[in-house]
């Protein structure tokens, strides 16, 4: 089913004009995906309650941000091996943001 254009409006938390992820209800403001609360659950590796970054499947438990480590790849820009958010692409490139701990 084709979707229409994405509506954007002011986030009630940060004030930026962004796509709204959580609509206002019960006196709470509309929130963009950066400001919306993240669901948490026990990590399938260590049991700590954290944000799940790798979804569970039938044969694998979900991995929380406490245990997830980005894969290592050789950077297509500098040639160094390091953790990479784009390791499974044809041009892995290290970025300035850090892996979740």
Residues 31 and 46 in one domain: no
Domain count, the chain: 3
Asked whether the CA dihedral 96, 74, 90, 64 is positive or negative, the reply is negative
Which tokens sit at 1? 């089913």
Residues 33, 4: one domain?
yes
For 72-83, how does the pLDDT look when each residue is reduced to its tens digit (9 = 90+)? 888 777 788 888
pLDDT digits (tens, 9 = 90+) for 29-62: 889 988 988 888 999 999 999 988 888 899 988 8
Dmax (CA) of the chain: 52
Using the predicted structure, report yes or no on whether residue 18 has a pLDDT greater than 60: yes
Measured from the Cβ of residue 85, the count of other Cβ atoms closer than 10 Å reads 15
On whether the pTM is more than 0.85, the answer is no
DSSP state of 57: B
Where in the sequence is the domain holding 16, given as residue range(s)?
Answer: 1-37
Distance of alpha carbon 40 from alpha carbon 89, whole angstroms: 28
Are residues 30 and 47 located together in one domain of the fold? no
Q: Indicate if the pLDDT at residue 99 is higher than 70.
A: no
């Amino acid at each position: 089913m084709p979707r229409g254009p994405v509506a954007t409006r002011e986030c009630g938390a940060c004030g930026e004009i962004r796509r709204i992820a959580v609509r206002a209800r019960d006196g709470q403001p509309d929130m963009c995906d950066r400001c919306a609360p993240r669901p948490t659950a026990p990590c399938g590796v260590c049991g700590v309650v954290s944000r799940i970054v790798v979804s569970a499947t039938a044969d694998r438990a979900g991995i929380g941000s406490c245990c997830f480590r980005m894969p290592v790849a050789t950077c297509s820009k500098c040639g160094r091996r390091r953790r990479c958010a784009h390791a499974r692409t044809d041009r892995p490139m290290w970025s300035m943001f850090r892996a979740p701990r």
